[in-house]
Amino acid sequence: MKLNIFVTALGLFARTNALLRFGCAQLTVQRLDPLVNSGQNPSPHLHQIIGGNSFNVSMDPKAGHDLVKGSTCTTCQFTEDFSNYWTAVIYFKAKNGTFKRVPQRAQQGMEGTQGGMVVYYMTDALFDTAQKSKVTAFKPGFRMLIGDVSYRNRDQARDFRQLTYICMQNEGTRAPESVNFPTTPCPAGIMANHRFPTCWDGVNLDSPNHRDHVAYPESGTFESGGPCPSTHPVKIPQILLETVWDTKAFNNKADWPTDGSQPFVWSSGDKTGYSTHADYVFGWKDDSLQKAMDGHTYVSAPMLKTQAIAQQNKCNVPDMVKETIDGWLPALPGNVMVN
C-alpha cells in the first residue's frame, strides 16, 4: 500500500493541480443514519456528522430533500459545500466495563475547529503529485457508502484496503497504516482514513447497498491510477476523510485490558477496527465542485468562498435522539454489544 504521506505530498503539488483539502467542524453526534437507516430514529449505532444543517432522520431525494436548498449553514470551510459526511464513533472501554466517548481533534493549521474531520477531493490518489486526471463531479442526489459494519476479521477487511488507521506519534505521522485498531498507545491520537471509490456507473445516483453503483480502478486498488472498469466508466473525484481521535487521555497502559488487547471500540460494537465505514451524501451548490476540480486548485480554491472557523463551529442541528452519549456510560449508546 502506498502511503498517505500528507506533509511530503502537499509540498510537491504545483498550483496547476486539482486537489481540495479543507476542515469541517462537528455538526452533530447522534444515533442517526439517513442513508442506511433512512427514517429510523434512532438508528442502531452512533455517528459523528459534518457538513450542511439539512441533515435529518430522512434525506430521501425522491421525497424532495435538497441539501443545498434545505441548509442555512455548513460546518465545512467552503460555504458551497452542504454535503454530509459521517462515520461511527470511537469509545474507550474501561476495565470495569464502562465506556467513554473519545473526542476528535483538529489537525495542524485548523486549530480551533470543534471536532469534525478533514476532507479531501482529488483527481488522483494523494501520492500522485501530478493530480491531472479529468473527473466528473457528483450529481444532485448522489450518495455512497464505504466499508461494512458487520466485518470482524482480517480476511473480510481485505475487501476495503482503502480504510486504514494510523497510530500517530506526532502531528506529522502518516505511516504506517493498518486495517485494524492500533495495539499500542498512540501519543498524538489515532487517525482513521476513509478513501471512497473513484469510478461511477454513470447512471445510478445510489444502489440498494449504496456501493454497487461505484467502484475502484479495474487494475487493482484505489492507488493504482488504472482505468475505470467498463461497468463503471465515469471517473469521479476521490474523497478522503481523515478523522483524528484524541486518545491521549486513554494512553495509560495501566488502564488497558490485562490480556494485552487494546481498549477501543467503535460505537457499532466492533473492537477489531475491521468494521470501519463512512457515508457520503452529495450537496455542493450548483456546479461549484466541478469548477474546483477543473480549476487550478491547491488546498485552497479561489473560485470557492471560505468561511472562518468560528462560523463553521456555529453551525449545528437539533438533538433528535435525546440520549446520553458522554460521560462514563454503562453500555454503548443503543445498548450495542461489543463483539
**14 has a pLDDT exceeding 60:** no
> For the chain, what percentages of helix, strand and coil (3-state, to nearest 5) are there?
15, 25, 60
Report the pLDDT value the prediction gives residue 13, as an integer from 0 to 100.
41
Q: Is residue 142 one of the residues assigned to a domain?
A: yes
Report the pLDDT value the prediction gives residue 123, as an integer from 0 to 100.
87
Task: Kindly state the helix (H) or strand (E) to which residue 234 belongs, with its residue range.
Answer: strand 234-235
Q: Is residue 122 one of the residues assigned to a domain?
A: yes
Q: Is residue 42 one of the residues assigned to a domain?
A: yes
**3 has a pLDDT exceeding 80:** no
Q: Is residue 1 one of the residues assigned to a domain?
A: no
Report the pLDDT value the prediction gives residue 124, as an integer from 0 to 100.
80
d(Cα 111, Cα 255) in Å, to the nearest integer? 29
Could you tell me whether strands 99-101 and 238-245 are parallel, antiparallel, or unpaired per DSSP bridges?
Answer: unpaired
d(Cα 57, Cα 46) in Å, to the nearest integer? 13
Beta bridge partners, 279, equal 86, 145
Region 151-179: mean pLDDT is 93
Length of the chain (residues): 339
What's the sign of the alpha-carbon dihedral 292, 294, 296, 297?
positive
Q: Is residue 97 one of the residues assigned to a domain?
A: yes
**221 has a pLDDT exceeding 70:** no
Q: Which band of pLDDT confidence, cut at 50, 70 and 90, is reported for residue 125?
A: confident
Q: Is residue 2 one of the residues assigned to a domain?
A: no
Most confident of 9-13, 74-78, 213-217: 74-78
- Left, alpha or beta for 202 (phi > 0: left; psi -120 to 50: alpha)? left
Helix then strand count (H, E) for the chain reads 5, 16
Domain that residue 136 falls in: 16-338
Q: Which band of pLDDT confidence, cut at 50, 70 and 90, is reported for residue 17?
A: low
Report the 10 Å Cβ neighbour count for 230: 7
pLDDT tens-digit readout, 266-315: 999 999 999 999 999 999 999 999 999 998 776 678 999 999 999 999 99
**6 has a pLDDT exceeding 90:** no
Q: Which of 24, 184, 41 is nearest to 106 (CA)?
A: 24
Question: Which range, of 12-21, 172-181, 213-222, 271-280, averages the lowest pLDDT?
Answer: 12-21
**224 has a pLDDT exceeding 90:** no
Q: Is residue 8 one of the residues assigned to a domain?
A: no
C-alpha cell, 332: 454503548
Is the Cβ–Cβ distance between 209 and 197 less than 8 Å? no
d(Cα 269, Cα 274) in Å, to the nearest integer? 11
Q: Is residue 208 one of the residues assigned to a domain?
A: yes
d(Cα 120, Cα 193) in Å, to the nearest integer? 11
Q: Which of 330, 318, 192, 206 is nearest to 266 (CA)?
A: 192
Report the pLDDT value the prediction gives residue 298, as an integer from 0 to 100.
65
Report the pLDDT value the prediction gives residue 7, as an integer from 0 to 100.
37
**15 has a pLDDT exceeding 50:** no
Domain count, the chain: 1
**12 has a pLDDT exceeding 70:** no
What is the SS3 string spanning 241-271?
Answer: EEEEECCHHHCCHHHCCCCCCCCEEECCCCC
Region 57-64: mean pLDDT is 96
